[in-house]
Chains A and B, each alone.
Chain A
Amino acid sequence: MARTVRAIVIAGNGTNCEREVAHACRLAGADVADIVHIAELLAGRVRLDDYHFLNLAGGFLDGDDLGSAKAGANRLLHAQVAGSNGTVADQIRQFVADGKLVMGVCNGFQLMVKMGLLPGLDGSFDQTCSLMHNDGGRFEDRWVWLKVDASSPCVFTRGLEGLYLPVRHGEGKFVVDGESTLKRLEDQHLGVLKYADAQLKPTQDYPANPNGSVNAIAGVCDQSGRLFGLMPHPEAYIHRTHHPRWTREPELPEEGMGLWFYSNAMQYIRDELL
């Protein structure tokens, strides 16, 4: 695998966005972007070790019937990989320890939070945050502005100020287990994406903040900046025709803003991991 950037997208049991995530990885320069069914990982036929960039895609893992991504998190934490003593979660922890990148979008973000991967304060994998039902009480599909915290260690947002992306969720309200967690998130600049108005000022006002997330938090990274999760869908804006107003804004560039995260990930992998 020398000099090739290898991305993996885990699919199955209710993921919906694996194709477009893999496409975004390829467009951003991944040499390999494999969509791998979770059954392949549990059967031990595919190992995370062989990749640099793990993508957890949006969807409704196991129907979200126990709360978003909760059953999916339990499967990864507890189901044994055939022919080994470990779980997929063990492979993910090793993947993280090896300095590699993980990005979770929407249900993938919910999964990372419920597995304790994010925000991963103290380097532990205890769950300290969650994603709850939107304040509006319903699923919504709408485009939002996101303000990037320039002081964040997040490697995916390097050099970025703001983005315009769609949210499509019913359980996207980011909450914390207490004030101290929130303070640590803010002090360390881990709440890297915030719902904002068109002037990029973070806001609690609906609909710019579509779900009522505390401190308008839309995306979170860990202290290394290599683990990143967000509710909005970057893979849904990788070409100008994805933009809701492309027919009236001829100046929009060909490349969509969502691709920026993937490009930054590729840059990091080429600089640090190859």
Chain B
Amino acid sequence: RLIFNTDVFCFASPFLEKELPPRLLHPRRIFDGVVEGVEHGGNKSGIPTVNGSIVFDERFAGKPLVYCGTASIMPRTLNGKPCHEKKAQVGDHIVMTGGRIGKDGIHGATFSSEELHEGSPVTAVQIGDPITQRRMFDFLLIARDRGLYNSITDNGAGGLSSSVGEMSEDTGGFELHLDRAPLKYPGLQPWEILISEAQERMTLAVPPDKLDAFLTLAGEMDVEATDLGVFTDSGYFHCLYEGKTVACLSMDFIHGGVPQMVIPAKWQPKVLAEPDFSQPQDLGAELARLLGRLNICSKESVVRRYDHEVQAGTVIKPLVGVANDGPSDAAVYRPLFDSFEGVVVSHGICPSYSDIDTYHMMACAIDEGLRNYVAVGGNIEHVAGLDNFCWCDPVKSDKTPDGEYKAAQLVRANKALYDYCVAYGVPLISGKDSMKNDYQIGDTKISIPPTVLFSVIGKIDDVRKAVSMDVKRPGDLVYLLGETRDELGGSEYYAARGERGSRVPQVEASSALARYRTVNAAQRQGLIASCHDLSDGGLGVSLAEKAFAGGFGVQVELGKVDAESGLRADKLLFSESQSRLLVTVHPDCRAAFEALFSGQSCRQIGVVTQEPLLQVAAADGSRLLSAAIDQLKEAWQAPLREM
């Protein structure tokens, strides 16, 4: 049973005012189309969309990225057998169910693995029909409970060729009659039927004695199901059309025949410098400007278009706070009505750091995902990750003269993936990659920044212990957990000045892990009133978001921040040092909270105030910044409000 969806989009600014290269759609049109498509697909499927984000970079005009994830739940055992085990048997029928096959989605996988060029085919895009899928899912759950099939795989990239091809590894061969497949319209060639990626289709291995029951149930539920052949042990990938063989390849060749590619990679760190500018006079204006940047501003207009509450399980929603409009760090979902155990889902994504070093980009994405997860109460001891790579072409060629550098970026990202997942003890349970996110027509080439979406899923023992990010009441103490360093390379603050810098944030996993475990302990004891992570825009943005989401002011002194010595006030406010969390604590809980964190980086930097102002004092006590929270909120909400 599907329990929730997540969406992360990477676009160029919808307000882009440049001339676009040929055949590219304006990012505004991409934005509108993608949002609407996910709205239709997600809402109609009856699956709440509980978590996501939108990342902006001009290079995504060349290829926008759309990451959609789905989580589901199943019984641990069913009819006495582990529910996750599946295996096709010799003699099982190959049954395709759900939608019909059309010309849509032919070469979809090829399309998404090559650069956009003049010849990119329109038929590569599948045309979805969520209601067909919904009916099929209802049917499959009943068929599963009745034990009517031995194995099941979806028809994704490569269509039948890969679903049947993969399942037949269990038996060692198959015989598939392509002419029996139901088509949307006549006129498809056998090869098109074999590889079409038309949506909403599943391939199943149905034992002969269950075939009638399977097909009858499908008929009653208005779901199409067709017997296309049998799994064999012939050793051959065998396709027929009207009785005539149209493909017959040995299984060994199909599964083991591809020679391993060797891609040369050479890491040559770029020579980068920190920008040289003096501290701006008006830090309030700087903060407001940051809050209005596309990567930081409110995405409420998009979030509201997705049903995030269907199935009545969403406990921490994407929008929280006194006016239901603050930005949640992660979602908490309670899938079963008879238990308060919950699933927590979050993600990290920070492609801007890739321009400096993909190793640290990867480390930061992992850490961001985990600290968002911990912020709402996710158990750091019971968590898994999922890595989704979207890369630019890393193979050196005439078209890609910097291929060795791009390949080295890939190697470095994977090294960090290994290092940090081991350090945090986080298993990677799934993942995916798309390797040719480049646009090339004529002399114009646009490569996306190397981007990894690191999704996090795990457990909270009791959803009633979950914590939201908004400040709760005046008088609560504001704590900053974790050290702030001169790490503004790739930051939003530098980007706002047109700079990149060189000091990319680096993750110190051992202290972060200890911090996350302690935060969990404090959450279980009910000591934490609110908790919010620090990411894009650093301390300044996180303070503002906490304050206006809760409807109260916050007063802090920068001198109390645990920071690298001599760090300038603007850098202190906007550094993107990782693994930091802002927490508010009721004064009664102070002693217990501080005792838990003894020996760790944990400083009380201020208090929540009735007066609706964000006030920041410098180390010498002088006033650095004082801004009304409703003005900060307005700056944060305005940019995408009408989208």
Q: Which residues of A contact B (CB under 8 A)?
A: 11-17, 19-20, 23, 37, 39, 43, 58-60, 62-65, 138-143, 166, 168, 233, 235-236, 238, 241-242, 244-248
Query: Given A16-B46, A59-B46, A248-B470, do A141 and B312 touch, yes or no (CB 8 Å)?
Result: no
Query: Given A43-B220, A244-B324, do A60 and B311 touch, yes or no (CB 8 Å)?
Result: no
Query: Given A13-B222, A16-B46, A140-B305, do A247 and B468 touch, yes or no (CB 8 Å)?
Result: yes
What are the residues of chain A within 8 A of B464 when measuring CB–CB? 241
- B309 in contact with A168 (CB, 8 Å): yes
Interchain Cβ contacts under 8 Å between A and B, 19 examples: A14-B44, A17-B46, A17-B311, A19-B312, A58-B310, A60-B46, A63-B131, A139-B39, A139-B305, A139-B306, A141-B306, A142-B324, A168-B43, A168-B309, A236-B310, A244-B324, A245-B324, A247-B316, A248-B322
Query: Given A13-B222, A14-B131, A141-B307, do A60 and B44 touch, yes or no (CB 8 Å)?
Result: yes
What are the residues of chain A within 8 A of B44 when measuring CB–CB? 14, 60, 63-64
Q: Of B306, B312, B316, which one neighbours A238 at CB under 8 angstroms?
A: B312
B376 to chain A: closest residue by CB: A247
What are the residues of chain B within 8 A of A246 when measuring CB–CB? 315
- B130 in contact with A63 (CB, 8 Å): yes
- B337 in contact with A39 (CB, 8 Å): no
Query: Given A23-B337, A43-B220, do A241 and B309 touch, yes or no (CB 8 Å)?
Result: no
Give the interface centre of B135, B304, B308, B466 by most chain A CB atoms within 10 Å: B304
Q: Determine the distance from Cα of A222 to Cα of B309 in the docked complex, in whole angstroms.
A: 29
Taking the closest CB of chain A, its distance from the CB of B216, in whole angstroms, is: 11
Taking the closest CB of chain B, its distance from the CB of A60, in whole angstroms, is: 4
Q: Of A39, A62, A168, A242, which one neighbours B221 at CB under 8 angstroms?
A: A39
B313 to chain A: closest residue by CB: A20
The answer to the question of B34 belonging to the interface, with a C-beta cut-off of 8 Å to chain A, is: no
- A248 in contact with B550 (CB, 8 Å): yes
Query: Given A62-B131, A139-B305, A248-B472, do A11 and B138 touch, yes or no (CB 8 Å)?
Result: yes
The answer to the question of B140 belonging to the interface, with a C-beta cut-off of 8 Å to chain A, is: no
What are the residues of chain B within 8 A of A244 when measuring CB–CB? 317, 319-320, 324
- A241 in contact with B334 (CB, 8 Å): yes
The answer to the question of B345 belonging to the interface, with a C-beta cut-off of 8 Å to chain A, is: no
- A14 in contact with B315 (CB, 8 Å): no
Q: Determine the distance from Cα of A173 to Cα of B511 in the docked complex, in whole angstroms.
A: 54
What are the residues of chain B within 8 A of A245 when measuring CB–CB? 320-322, 324
Q: Of A12, A20, A236, which one neighbours B135 at CB under 8 angstroms?
A: A12
- A241 in contact with B324 (CB, 8 Å): no
Q: How many residues of B contact A (CB 8 A)?
A: 43
Taking the closest CB of chain B, its distance from the CB of A237, in whole angstroms, is: 8
The answer to the question of B224 belonging to the interface, with a C-beta cut-off of 8 Å to chain A, is: no
What are the residues of chain A within 8 A of B337 when measuring CB–CB? 19-20, 23
What are the residues of chain B within 8 A of A20 when measuring CB–CB? 311-312, 337
What are the residues of chain A within 8 A of B408 when measuring CB–CB? none
What are the residues of chain A within 8 A of B131 when measuring CB–CB? 13-14, 60, 62-63, 65
What are the residues of chain B within 8 A of A23 when measuring CB–CB? 312, 337
- B305 in contact with A138 (CB, 8 Å): yes
- 18 additional contacts, CB 8 Å, given A20-B312, A168-B307, A248-B322? A13-B134, A14-B131, A16-B134, A20-B337, A43-B220, A58-B310, A63-B131, A139-B43, A139-B305, A141-B304, A141-B306, A141-B307, A142-B324, A166-B309, A235-B312, A245-B322, A247-B316, A248-B470
What are the residues of chain B within 8 A of A17 when measuring CB–CB? 46, 310-312
What are the residues of chain A within 8 A of B384 when measuring CB–CB? none
Q: Determine the distance from Cα of A166 to Cα of B304 in the docked complex, in whole angstroms.
A: 11
Q: Determine the distance from Cα of A230 to Cα of B8 in the docked complex, in whole angstroms.
A: 33
Query: Given A60-B44, A139-B39, A142-B304, do A248 and B468 touch, yes or no (CB 8 Å)?
Result: yes
Q: Determine the distance from Cα of A139 to Cα of B39 in the docked complex, in whole angstroms.
A: 8
The answer to the question of B463 belonging to the interface, with a C-beta cut-off of 8 Å to chain A, is: yes
What are the residues of chain B within 8 A of A233 when measuring CB–CB? 309
Query: Given A63-B131, A139-B39, A139-B43, do A242 and B312 touch, yes or no (CB 8 Å)?
Result: yes
Give the interface centre of A14, A20, A64, A141 by most chain B CB atoms within 10 Å: A141
What are the residues of chain A within 8 A of B222 when measuring CB–CB? 13, 39
The answer to the question of B467 belonging to the interface, with a C-beta cut-off of 8 Å to chain A, is: yes
- A16 in contact with B470 (CB, 8 Å): no
9 tightest A-B CB contacts, nearest first? A16-B46, A63-B131, A20-B312, A247-B468, A60-B44, A241-B315, A39-B220, A168-B307, A244-B324
Give the interface centre of B131, B221, B464 by most chain A CB atoms within 10 Å: B131
Taking the closest CB of chain B, its distance from the CB of A238, in whole angstroms, is: 7
What are the residues of chain B within 8 A of A235 when measuring CB–CB? 312
Taking the closest CB of chain A, its distance from the CB of B471, in whole angstroms, is: 9
Q: Determine the distance from Cα of A50 to Cα of B321 in the docked complex, in whole angstroms.
A: 45
Taking the closest CB of chain B, its distance from the CB of A240, in whole angstroms, is: 9
Q: Determine the distance from Cα of A248 to Cα of B320 in the docked complex, in whole angstroms.
A: 10
- B466 in contact with A247 (CB, 8 Å): yes
Taking the closest CB of chain B, its distance from the CB of A232, in whole angstroms, is: 11
User: Which residues between 31 and 46 of chain B lie within 8 Å of chain A, taking CB atoms?
Assistant: 39, 43-46
What are the residues of chain A within 8 A of B170 when measuring CB–CB? none
Q: Determine the distance from Cα of A59 to Cα of B134 in the docked complex, in whole angstroms.
A: 11
- A247 in contact with B307 (CB, 8 Å): no
Q: Determine the distance from Cα of A151 to Cα of B322 in the docked complex, in whole angstroms.
A: 33
Q: Determine the distance from Cα of A141 to Cα of B221 in the docked complex, in whole angstroms.
A: 30
The answer to the question of B129 belonging to the interface, with a C-beta cut-off of 8 Å to chain A, is: yes
- B310 in contact with A16 (CB, 8 Å): yes
Taking the closest CB of chain B, its distance from the CB of A14, in whole angstroms, is: 5
What are the residues of chain B within 8 A of A59 when measuring CB–CB? 46
Give the interface centre of B39, B45, B222, B466 by most chain A CB atoms within 10 Å: B222
Taking the closest CB of chain A, its distance from the CB of B462, in whole angstroms, is: 10
Q: Determine the distance from Cα of A62 to Cα of B309 in the docked complex, in whole angstroms.
A: 21
What are the residues of chain A within 8 A of B306 when measuring CB–CB? 139, 141
B130 to chain A: closest residue by CB: A63
Q: Determine the distance from Cα of A238 to Cα of B315 in the docked complex, in whole angstroms.
A: 12
What are the residues of chain B within 8 A of A14 when measuring CB–CB? 44, 46, 131, 134-135
What are the residues of chain B within 8 A of A39 when measuring CB–CB? 220-222
Q: Of B43, B321, B468, B550, which one neighbours A60 at CB under 8 angstroms?
A: B43
What are the residues of chain A within 8 A of B129 when measuring CB–CB? 63
Q: Determine the distance from Cα of A143 to Cα of B319 in the docked complex, in whole angstroms.
A: 11
What are the residues of chain A within 8 A of B315 when measuring CB–CB? 241-242, 246
Q: Determine the distance from Cα of A19 to Cα of B337 in the docked complex, in whole angstroms.
A: 9
Q: Determine the distance from Cα of A13 to Cα of B134 in the docked complex, in whole angstroms.
A: 7
What are the residues of chain A within 8 A of B319 when measuring CB–CB? 244
Q: Determine the distance from Cα of A252 to Cα of B317 in the docked complex, in whole angstroms.
A: 17
Give the interface centre of A11, A20, A63, A244 by most chain B CB atoms within 10 Å: A244
What are the residues of chain A within 8 A of B470 when measuring CB–CB? 247-248
Q: Determine the distance from Cα of A59 to Cα of B45 in the docked complex, in whole angstroms.
A: 8
Taking the closest CB of chain A, its distance from the CB of B56, in whole angstroms, is: 21
What are the residues of chain B within 8 A of A140 when measuring CB–CB? 304-305
Q: Of B45, B130, B310, B322, which one neighbours A168 at CB under 8 angstroms?
A: B310
Q: Determine the distance from Cα of A62 to Cα of B44 in the docked complex, in whole angstroms.
A: 9
What are the residues of chain A within 8 A of B314 when measuring CB–CB? 242
Q: Determine the distance from Cα of A12 to Cα of B137 in the docked complex, in whole angstroms.
A: 10
Q: Determine the distance from Cα of A143 to Cα of B317 in the docked complex, in whole angstroms.
A: 12
- A13 in contact with B312 (CB, 8 Å): no
Q: Determine the distance from Cα of A16 to Cα of B49 in the docked complex, in whole angstroms.
A: 14
